[in-house]
A and B are shown apart, each in its own frame.
Chain A
């Protein structure tokens, strides 16, 4: 039976050839390391978000009067609803962490360099889409925590003269965070961001396959030395086949991701549910501490300490552009960060600055 199904497929879409070209003959460089799996882990993380998200979507009601109650219903009445909510919440944070780590290691290995500038830009955009996912999803449970975090973050654009209030108005659908904001964020979260994300992932994967995975890291390679005048695919004829060797590594890391996820759910089930997250949103009662999600803390804190808010926003936009277009700023041929003290210094400096701002923002 199985053989016949396979044969049927084979004669129509050329299954063998597909598997051969995409999986077994697809080769990855010999000196590949564990950090190369992080992109796959992030993609698996996204799949987990999609599956758990669909289950939440079945019971969730995006209306200020019902949102909180429906989430409580999921937590206490729906069989295993708590598990899917926990997976979705913990997963959203872990996914951002995985993508962040992915970009850090890509950065450290200099793999954003020619010819992979576009791949980097696609990845950076994916990070921002993921953060937008996190930010919009944060409001949906309609708790004190989410309501006030959204209020402070959506008030950031109002510091920009002339268009600021307009932008904030678009985000909130009014002057305050209201039911209109909830509808907007919900639509954004479940119907605008997912296709955008898939599109970017498609482009990202296409570029990786088309250009060929970068032969790691350290040292100068032929592709960097040669003047770049024509397309050249890197195929690593001497490398490992993707399947099974590298696929196993991918899956190993996915298991690590899942184990960490359930470890967090087991050990600190309330990590992402502080007291304010169990109180329904009350627009008339500002909680003592209002702060956004951890991944927005650093920019938030930076805005807070720069006295002129407009300047602060301009600086952030500039940093955003530098980050997005980094491959065009760093045109040095040397990929090895160990041989580039200046870049290493910059890298460490920004990383430490980010950490400081984040912890400062917490307090």
Chain B
């Protein structure tokens, strides 16, 4: 009987030998390919602009963009430049909303479509006014770049960049004014990372930090040192509340640990008691 079963199974496995090479590419990528990759949409701008025939000056743009924070947040070429990414023959026409490449004076509005609060502060600032008046003020891409835009932080303020048009002294005072709040925000970010390592999903804290930080960084664009100093207290307080929340979560985690340790001791104790009962001789 069992030889029969064994041989049936042997025969069953025969077709698999004949099916060798079956779906080879499938086998190669099996279980290791990235499923998500398949689902990135076709995009004519990217296809054409990363092809060989693109003129050399433009060739790096797609690669730069791919590294950017915008790309990670699904901001594509057409979200900034307009146009139609579906149909390559008409993608760069005005009919499809293409706006081309902005001139220096147009850049603030170009970016400000989405970063509305920053645009407002920027336009009212010394930098924005100077750009309007003389074209000498720095616009967004001077500080952030246009395609490889990364997450912002105060290291953008450095001698190399800020001393081009005026003394670095001015920039330095600004950096000092930002420092306190940015440092605290950095600490909270570490706290959130620690929470995540502890298995917590720090969604609320993360969102609170993000909002506070965004509001504060918007403030920078006024390049008004006294305004920043004036509101530093307010931001420190807001961040303090988030910090307290994080600490509270850690305390909660510790009390959970104590509780489960108590249960562990309880059941171990009951185990020992039962063990002693089994060892007492029967009457």
Residues of A within 8 A of B (CB): 68, 72, 75-76, 82-83, 86, 151-152, 155-156, 158-159, 161, 176, 245, 248-249, 251-252, 255-256, 258-259, 262-263, 265-266, 269-270, 273, 275, 277-280, 283-286, 300, 303-304, 307-311, 314-315, 318, 321, 325, 328-329, 331
Q: Which residues of A contact B37 (CB under 8 A)?
A: 286
Q: Which of the listed residues A68, A278, A286 has the most CB atoms from chain B within 10 Å of its own CB?
A: A278
Let me know if B19 and A275 touch, CB within 8 A: no
Query: A55 → chain B, closest Cβ, in Å?
Result: 16
Let me know if B22 and A283 touch, CB within 8 A: no
Given contacts A176-B35, A255-B271, contact A86 B260 (CB under 8 A): yes
* Alpha-carbon distance A325/B4, docked complex (angstroms): 13
Let me know if A83 and B260 touch, CB within 8 A: yes
* Alpha-carbon distance A255/B264, docked complex (angstroms): 9
Given contacts A286-B36, A314-B12, contact A266 B27 (CB under 8 A): no
Query: B97 → chain A, closest Cβ, in Å?
Result: 25
Residues of B within 8 A of A (CB): 1-2, 5-6, 9, 12-13, 16-17, 19-23, 26-27, 30-32, 34-37, 39-40, 196-201, 203, 253, 256-257, 259-261, 263-264, 267-268, 270-271, 274-275, 277-278, 282
Q: Which residues of B contact A315 (CB under 8 A)?
A: 13
Let me know if B260 and A310 touch, CB within 8 A: no
Let me know if B27 and A285 touch, CB within 8 A: no
* Alpha-carbon distance A155/B34, docked complex (angstroms): 13
Query: A255 → chain B, closest Cβ, in Å?
Result: 3
Given contacts A152-B31, A255-B268, A325-B5, contact A159 B26 (CB under 8 A): yes
Q: Is the interface of B mostly helix, strand, loop or mixed?
A: helix
Q: Which of the listed residues B2, B31, B259 has the most CB atoms from chain A within 10 Å of its own CB?
A: B31
Residue B19 contacts which of A161, A280, A307 (CB distance < 8 angstroms)?
A: A161
* Alpha-carbon distance A306/B34, docked complex (angstroms): 20
Given contacts A72-B201, A72-B203, A331-B2, contact A248 B277 (CB under 8 A): yes
Let me know if A278 and B16 touch, CB within 8 A: no
Closest to A313 in B: B16
Given contacts A252-B274, A255-B274, A318-B13, contact A155 B31 (CB under 8 A): yes
Let me know if B13 and A304 touch, CB within 8 A: no
* Alpha-carbon distance A277/B31, docked complex (angstroms): 20
Q: Which residues of B contact A285 (CB under 8 A)?
A: 36
Given contacts A86-B260, A273-B199, A328-B5, contact A252 B267 (CB under 8 A): no
